[in-house]
Structure 1
Amino acid sequence: SSRQNQQILAVEEVVENKDAIESANFGKISEFESENKVSSRQNQENLKVSENLPLPHSPLPPLPIWKDELYLEFHRGCYTTRADQKRQNRRCEELLYQAELLSSISTICTGAVYPKSELETAWKQVLFNQFHDILPGSAIAQVYVDANLAFAEADRTCREIMAKSLEAIAAQISLPSPPQPDAQPILIFNPLNWLRSEVVAVPIPDSAAETWQIYDCSGQRLATQISRVDRPEPQFTLLFLVNNLPAVGYRVFWLCRAEAETLENSLPPTQKLLQIDLAQVTNNLTPKLAVCQETHFETERKVLENEFIRATVDCETGNLSSIWDKVNHREVLNTFGGDRLQAFSDSGQYWDAWNIDPNYQKHQLPSPLLKDISWVEQGEVRQSLRVTRQIGKSMFCQDYIVDIGSPLLKIKTVVDWQETHVLIKTAFGLNQSANFATCEIPCGTIDRPTQPQTAAEKAKWEVPILRWVDISNDGFGVSLLNDCKYGCDFQPNQLRLTLLRGSTWPDELADIGIHEFTYAVYPHSGNWQNAGTVRRGYELNLPSLVQVFPQLGENCHKTLPTVGKFLDLSADNLVLMAFKQSEDDANFWIVRCYESEGKQAVLELDGDLGLAIVRPVDLLEKSANSPQKSDDGRSLKISPWKIVSLAVNRYCTIQQTVKS
């Protein structure tokens, strides 16, 4: 009992001490708060006084100005590591643009429901994957299992939206009489906001044993060529040139089956150029195409040629030994040649996936081993030469492609990559010299020196680009385009594109496996602005869409013509970035574009949708201060490099609103 009383007294003493401490602390806190309030009032009074003080007699020294990019001198490897993520990201961004574009047109023209929630989900999936360390390629392996699922789902969603939208648009086209009763209409759609011409590939419904023809809607038969695509699975296609495809528009053609004998007797000699060796088709998954006696191509010289360029391939190395510009009458490459694959030992500096070894160029590996050179196609529409080379345990299969009507030499590449701590670049030695290279960046360009002088310039031995890099001087230039590569370097007379790396940490199998990508050489007169390099870069990344439909029934109540132009911005230097439904009001649409050449532009809305500007908006689609639109709402002046978003509506809807 005595011990219990002592414990109770001890507890009471502790409680009393605690209360005393808390009381003292509360007093100190109150005192501090009181002093702080007084200090705050004094500061406010001092601030009011300081506002009335006269300015100093001598001006303050100006702050330094940094007029250049904020270049990070580490993590240069992130432009290239996990190339599959870069490719999927580029593809999904392009698909989202096209899905929004087509669904908007479909909703306006056909009354279809705009897939807002599906698009929002797909956007969030893609944007989440742009977080570091996912898109830079510096995450652990499990991250990419999840990222690939998200990319695949976004890809599937966009393609489904695009297919439904194209079908709805096609159903509104009033078709002329077909050249044959069983002819199938083909819709070729251009997702870009300028007139373009290009070779397209139409899937052949049955097999290559049949002969197929393409007619335009005036009944004219077009030059065609049978081609074979082996990935993702073997399929035959029919190639033909589509001329003057309207801005954000389409043309309709007819796919017809014909008897081979009838076609053979009716075609001019140049149309007999290509035939399929059916025995090779049966016995070989990658058949060679037999060339008839009429051909004028000297196949043993390994020369690809069209009306713009003549490219020669070195039969000992597989490199390009010459690209002759037939328009400007000059050689593009110097004696170094082009598409020279260069391998380097790359230890990854401090962080393997993030960094490239600064001394990688001192550790160049042996040149690739040429395994095979063979013709894939030698037709009137397309020529394609396949070069297979080996680097270490890895195989590079590259198709040099020249299409009729195109000034580009495309290099379509499939790689089975099995290397670790190896860096691969493709190099092009140019028959000219320039003090700087122009690189595309999002919604603009940047000039970077080819002969660095300062420490900051010398640190930029690997730089990021978007769709292209260009060297131009003395009225001539060369652009190197790509469809999913970002790392690059250059010298006064050389361009190099970084293709692959072999990092092993934090993912030991980061880039091991199959890779597919395309890059292209574009020789041109003038500078990149005169040559339309921005457009060529977009065209490589966004080919025209091809959709084959069955007969679409009677033409009653169909309002669209066989050639249509939905949306034209009417300025060569404006690029459409988005055409979508407004987030807040389904009665309005958002047009977003940017000026791409550093010059003033005048936007004028044109096209079959009959759109007019309601008001400029910001990126959140709220009303924004901007140059005034014209009285009719069709035009707007845009400053150099400016990104502009506009709320638009159909002109007839606006007129009805004004009248009411």
Structure 2
Amino acid sequence: MNTIFAIGNTHFDPVWLWTWDEAMAGIRSTFASALARMTENPDFTYSFCCPPVFEWIREVDPAMFESIRARVAEGRWELSEGWYLQPDCNAGLGESYVRHGLYGQNYLLATFGKRAVTVFNSDSFGHPSSLPQILHKCGIRYYAFSRPDPTEQELPGPLFRWQSSDGSQVLAYRIQEGHAPDIQTSIQFFSEAIGSSPHDLMLVYGITNHGGAPTKKAIAQLASLSADATLPYHVRFGGTEDFFSAQTADALPIVTDDLITRNFGVFINNHSVKQHGRQGEYMLLQAERAAWMASSQGKEYPLAPLTKSWEDILFSQFHDIIGGACIPQAYFHARNLQGRALVTGEEILHKSLQYLTKDMQMLSSLWNLVVFNLHAAPYSGPIEAEVQWVWELDWYSGALEVFDEAGRTYPCQIIKERSNIPAFRSRIAFHADLPSLGYKVFGLRQIQGDPTPRPDPTSNSISCGCSSISINPETGAASYRDERFQLSSLLTPLALSDAGDTWAFNVDGYEAALEDFHFVSSHVLEQGDILSRIQVSYTFRNSLLELTYSLYANQPYMDCHFRVNWNESQTALKFCLPPCDDPAFLVGLPYGQSSRSFDGREYPLNEWLTTSHYMVVSESVFAYDTDAENQTVRLSILRSPIAGDLRMGDLDPNQRYDYTDQGITEGDIRLYMGTWHSGPAAAAAEAMPPIVVDEAFHEGSRGAEESWLRLEGDAALVSAVKMAEDGSSDLILRLWETRGTDASLTVAPKDCASASITLSPFEIKTLRFSGDTVRETSMLEL
């Protein structure tokens, strides 16, 4: 006889149609109610877990917090969320979901003496197939979700084994009739379903969204059913672990698909909160690397501020925040959290780097450029740097030259500085090679000759090395050409009428394409042997768009910076890529990839997309759709629905509404020509360019070039370099196989033992280095 497990739960949004301070008051009331129900009914159990929410209670109501701790110890309050909170699972880097597990589980162990085995993630807008590996390696065995519902994606049943590409599995359950307002309605559904079910079912009940515990009435109804021996099934109170542990997993079907909702609005909404979140992730990854490098030379590793900054980024990944579904007022706090993390990370990064540069032997030059590469692979490519001159003494005029310790000189192109004060500052571009996770010192000196001539701004084309970009003088369409490839219509702007509400719950897609953008002008900004740039301007109704294309000598890619002043409502902006005749293409997932077709659907995009003709990487684009008829991928830049609009009827024509993403939106897109070897590596290179420290001449004990990490083998990406969370001096490295092949490699951090390891296809492996020893560990660093 099957059992219906009644899971008392509160689906709680710490931010949504309210701000976090209102939510804090609401959850105190909720917890008071849940604790009271436990006193009234000894069989009732409650399932809720969210570390930042627990911390609210600890600070404002210590007595309540201790009551919660007591119920957890008793086993009546289940810690059913092994992550930091319930995040959006598409917009973050893969490493963020590792940190959700790491910081969430660490908090639970430190606070309650136990970790969770379930992630209860009921309301997130889809779940990539790469998650089971991350969950499994964070000690999570079970996963509960609601979206996509059965109308959006068919599954073999509500309970299944969910498997990542590396073979890792978790037991997953799609919640049915979750948080139904009437228990009698739910019981009718479940009593009909359980007769044909090969396994038990999970009934999740309780008030939803703004808080509210299971009611006295609901508990009484379930208690009555639990005591009814005449029913052809059992009803019992329990938690998610009770349910999952009672199932026989071996007989269940395996699902390897992404679980993606069709309500696409959240993939695109509120570009800035998504972009700042991504920038925060990469800032903290760089700060951790620089801090480890500096700690190896005696500087204290800033563990606490790094952890707190990650927690700020993770909170801003709550699914309604980063999904752009909150009211505008809620984003003041979210952006402040992201800003605090960005500033803290930036301070740690640059203080760590300059802790190192102070001890370096500079070259015989007024200005030295210490160029850091924070990737575990060597870098070869363009570098931009800017220096300050003592302009009152007329020290600077004419051409410049870059050189290194061995006396090698590097072609140097003077480009437009960021300020507009003549002879005050100089900005240069040059090409150089850098060691892996290290630095190289370059000197900068004046030489005889004229500076780089300014380009002809009226030209409609630029070239650099063997590549060129031409702008059609009639339409503004951009075309690329080099020795092997020719692509027309590189990033064609497209406006679509968008009648969707915030989530696009009320529509299946976009409406008609609107009129073309009007080409205004093209303007050459730079033309040289190192880099060239051209800016193209368009208008659309009341909006302005600028696309600035950059070419680099001997590089297989071009960059595009977009800047749009968007003043439209209920209109979406996309950039169309060149047509492609591939039947399918690959897109990035958090620590994974997926094959997609030209099916016309809107999907989330995590950093990269590749076809046989080109590859796109970007930290500024988070979704795409396809035009199946023209075999075209369309990058989703923004949409402008009404904020907080869950459409229940017709709009009031007399009401003034707030629209999302109006005003200035900026971002960067990198376009590789042809098939590229690793989307994740290319995306990381675009997001983490070399960092230049201007250093005046001084003596020092460190050499002009140094590396902290050597990696032999190029099939893996080192995705995290950090000190252990337990405060020890141990080094944590995380590596990820990105090509879908078996890989053998050797990794050798400075002053640590080297390790020869193998990775299976798409495997994520975490290594812990302690003095002369190295061992594989879980993502919890155990």
TM over 0.5: yes
Could you tell me which of 682, 698, 709 is aligned with 1:536? 682
Task: Quote the Cα distance in structure 2 between the aligned partners of 1:196 and 1:439.
Answer: 24
Code of the aligned partner of 1:323? Y
Paired residue total: 515
Superposed displacement of residue 343, structure 1 = 0.4
Task: Quote the Cα distance in structure 1 between the aligned partners of 2:419 and 2:661.
Answer: 20
Alignment match, 1:480: 616
Task: Quote the Cα distance in structure 2 between the aligned partners of 1:187 and 1:101.
Answer: 16
Structure 1 window deviating more from structure 2 (643-652 vs 364-373): it is 643-652
1:518 is the counterpart of 2:654: no
Once the two structures are superposed, residues 238-291 of structure 1 have per-residue CA deviations (whole angstroms, 9 ceiling, x without a partner) of 2333322111121110123x37xx333xxxxxxx5x33xxxxxxxxxxxxx445
Code of the aligned partner of 1:543? P
Partner SS, residue 606 of structure 1:
strand
Superposed displacement of residue 190, structure 1 = 0.9
Judged with a 3 Å threshold, the aligned counterparts in structure 2 of structure 1 residues 213 and 249 are, in CA distance, closer, same or farther, namely same
Q: Do 2:381 and 2:555's aligned partners in 1 also have CA atoms closer than 8 Å?
A: yes
Q: Do 2:387 and 2:694's aligned partners in 1 also have CA atoms closer than 8 Å?
A: no
Superposed displacement of residue 124, structure 1 = 1.1
Task: Quote the Cα distance in structure 2 between the aligned partners of 1:645 and 1:200.
Answer: 31
Alignment match, 1:439: 587
Partner SS, residue 449 of structure 2:
helix
Once the two structures are superposed, residues 556-581 of structure 1 have per-residue CA deviations (whole angstroms, 9 ceiling, x without a partner) of xx2x3212221133221211121111
Once the two structures are superposed, residues 431-486 of structure 1 have per-residue CA deviations (whole angstroms, 9 ceiling, x without a partner) of x5111010011112110122x4xxxxxxx6111111111112xxxx3112212211
Task: Quote the Cα distance in structure 1 between the aligned partners of 2:724 and 2:658.
Answer: 45
Task: Quote the Cα distance in structure 2 between the aligned partners of 1:255 and 1:383.
Answer: 21
Kindly report which structure 2 residues correspond to 1:120-269, keeping only aligned pairs within 5 A, or say none. 120-175=307-362, 177-178=363-364, 180=365, 183-206=366-389, 210-211=397-398, 212-228=400-416, 230=418, 237-256=426-445, 258=446, 262-264=448-450
Superposed displacement of residue 493, structure 1 = 3.9
Partner SS, residue 605 of structure 1:
strand
Judged with a 3 Å threshold, the aligned counterparts in structure 2 of structure 1 residues 580 and 63 are, in CA distance, closer, same or farther, namely closer
Judged with a 3 Å threshold, the aligned counterparts in structure 2 of structure 1 residues 236 and 461 are, in CA distance, closer, same or farther, namely farther
Could you tell me which of 545, 565, 583 is aligned with 2:691? 545
Partner SS, residue 150 of structure 1:
helix
Judged with a 3 Å threshold, the aligned counterparts in structure 2 of structure 1 residues 200 and 404 are, in CA distance, closer, same or farther, namely same
Could you tell me which of 486, 497, 503 is aligned with 2:635? 497
Superposed displacement of residue 66, structure 1 = 3.4
Task: Quote the Cα distance in structure 2 between the aligned partners of 1:407 and 1:483.
Answer: 19
Task: Quote the Cα distance in structure 2 between the aligned partners of 1:638 and 1:481.
Answer: 25
Task: Quote the Cα distance in structure 2 between the aligned partners of 1:231 and 1:135.
Answer: 34
Could you tell me which of 525, 542, 545 is aligned with 1:396? 545
Task: Quote the Cα distance in structure 2 between the aligned partners of 1:415 and 1:237.
Answer: 28
Once the two structures are superposed, residues 600-657 of structure 1 have per-residue CA deviations (whole angstroms, 9 ceiling, x without a partner) of 12231235x1322xxxxxxxxxxxxxxxxxxxx5211111111111111344999xxx
Code of the aligned partner of 1:318? G
Task: Quote the Cα distance in structure 2 between the aligned partners of 1:496 and 1:233.
Answer: 40
Alignment match, 1:415: 564
Code of the aligned partner of 2:719? M
Task: Quote the Cα distance in structure 1 between the aligned partners of 2:546 and 2:506.
Answer: 25
Judged with a 3 Å threshold, the aligned counterparts in structure 2 of structure 1 residues 124 and 161 are, in CA distance, closer, same or farther, namely same
1:465 is the counterpart of 2:652: no
Task: Quote the Cα distance in structure 1 between the aligned partners of 2:671 and 2:378.
Answer: 21
Task: Quote the Cα distance in structure 2 between the aligned partners of 1:121 and 1:218.
Answer: 43
Partner SS, residue 70 of structure 1:
coil
Could you tell me which of 294, 306, 313 is aligned with 1:106? 294
Q: Do 2:464 and 2:527's aligned partners in 1 also have CA atoms closer than 8 Å?
A: no
Q: Do 2:276 and 2:338's aligned partners in 1 also have CA atoms closer than 8 Å?
A: yes
Superposed displacement of residue 139, structure 1 = 0.4
Could you tell me which of 749, 752, 755 is aligned with 1:611? 752
Alignment match, 2:277: 89
Code of the aligned partner of 1:111? G
Alignment match, 2:737: 595
Judged with a 3 Å threshold, the aligned counterparts in structure 2 of structure 1 residues 652 and 133 are, in CA distance, closer, same or farther, namely closer
Q: Do 1:489 and 1:497's aligned partners in 2 also have CA atoms closer than 8 Å?
A: yes
Superposed displacement of residue 91, structure 1 = 0.3
Q: Do 1:325 and 1:523's aligned partners in 2 also have CA atoms closer than 8 Å?
A: no
Q: Do 2:372 and 2:692's aligned partners in 1 also have CA atoms closer than 8 Å?
A: yes
Once the two structures are superposed, residues 174-212 of structure 1 have per-residue CA deviations (whole angstroms, 9 ceiling, x without a partner) of 34x51x4xx222111111111222222211203797444
Judged with a 3 Å threshold, the aligned counterparts in structure 2 of structure 1 residues 248 and 61 are, in CA distance, closer, same or farther, namely closer
Task: Quote the Cα distance in structure 2 between the aligned partners of 1:600 and 1:237.
Answer: 47
Structure 1 length-normalised TM: 0.72
Alignment match, 2:45: none
Partner SS, residue 263 of structure 1:
coil
1:343 is the counterpart of 2:495: yes
Judged with a 3 Å threshold, the aligned counterparts in structure 2 of structure 1 residues 347 and 233 are, in CA distance, closer, same or farther, namely farther
Could you tell me which of 534, 552, 571 is aligned with 1:385? 534
Structure 2 length-normalised TM: 0.62
Kindly report which structure 2 residues correspond to 1:574-585, keeping only aligned pairs within 5 A, or say none. 574-585=716-727
Code of the aligned partner of 1:121? K
CA RMSD for the aligned pairs?
A: 3.1
Task: Quote the Cα distance in structure 1 between the aligned partners of 2:770 and 2:464.
Answer: 44
Superposed displacement of residue 383, structure 1 = 0.7
Structure 1 window deviating more from structure 2 (379-388 vs 97-106): it is 379-388
Judged with a 3 Å threshold, the aligned counterparts in structure 2 of structure 1 residues 225 and 565 are, in CA distance, closer, same or farther, namely same
Could you tell me which of 325, 349, 352 is aligned with 2:502? 352
Structure 2 unaligned spans of 5+: 1-222, 235-248, 645-656, 776-782
Judged with a 3 Å threshold, the aligned counterparts in structure 2 of structure 1 residues 356 and 594 are, in CA distance, closer, same or farther, namely farther
Alignment match, 1:586: 728
Alignment match, 1:307: 465
Could you tell me which of 647, 653, 656 is aligned with 2:768? 647
Judged with a 3 Å threshold, the aligned counterparts in structure 2 of structure 1 residues 394 and 236 are, in CA distance, closer, same or farther, namely farther
Once the two structures are superposed, residues 359-400 of structure 1 have per-residue CA deviations (whole angstroms, 9 ceiling, x without a partner) of 42x411111111221111112211111111111211111111
Judged with a 3 Å threshold, the aligned counterparts in structure 2 of structure 1 residues 228 and 357 are, in CA distance, closer, same or farther, namely farther
Q: Do 1:301 and 1:312's aligned partners in 2 also have CA atoms closer than 8 Å?
A: no
Code of the aligned partner of 2:460? K
Code of the aligned partner of 2:492? R
Alignment match, 2:20: none
Q: Do 1:197 and 1:241's aligned partners in 2 also have CA atoms closer than 8 Å?
A: no
Judged with a 3 Å threshold, the aligned counterparts in structure 2 of structure 1 residues 347 and 409 are, in CA distance, closer, same or farther, namely same
Structure 1 unaligned spans of 5+: 1-31, 44-59, 265-271, 276-288, 292-298, 453-459, 613-632, 655-660
Task: Quote the Cα distance in structure 2 between the aligned partners of 1:513 and 1:574.
Answer: 40
Judged with a 3 Å threshold, the aligned counterparts in structure 2 of structure 1 residues 103 and 599 are, in CA distance, closer, same or farther, namely same
Alignment match, 1:569: 711
Code of the aligned partner of 1:567? L
Judged with a 3 Å threshold, the aligned counterparts in structure 2 of structure 1 residues 311 and 396 are, in CA distance, closer, same or farther, namely same
Once the two structures are superposed, residues 99-144 of structure 1 have per-residue CA deviations (whole angstroms, 9 ceiling, x without a partner) of 0110011001x20011111111111111111112111111011111
Q: Do 2:413 and 2:430's aligned partners in 1 also have CA atoms closer than 8 Å?
A: no
Code of the aligned partner of 1:250? Y
Task: Quote the Cα distance in structure 2 between the aligned partners of 1:255 and 1:304.
Answer: 27
Between Structure 1 and Structure 2, whose CA radius of gyration is higher?
1
Q: Do 1:611 and 1:634's aligned partners in 2 also have CA atoms closer than 8 Å?
A: no
Once the two structures are superposed, residues 476-500 of structure 1 have per-residue CA deviations (whole angstroms, 9 ceiling, x without a partner) of x311221221111234742210111
Q: Do 2:403 and 2:442's aligned partners in 1 also have CA atoms closer than 8 Å?
A: yes
Structure 1 window deviating more from structure 2 (166-175 vs 113-122): it is 166-175
Structure 1 window deviating more from structure 2 (538-547 vs 226-235): it is 226-235
Q: Do 1:222 and 1:240's aligned partners in 2 also have CA atoms closer than 8 Å?
A: no
Alignment match, 1:67: 256
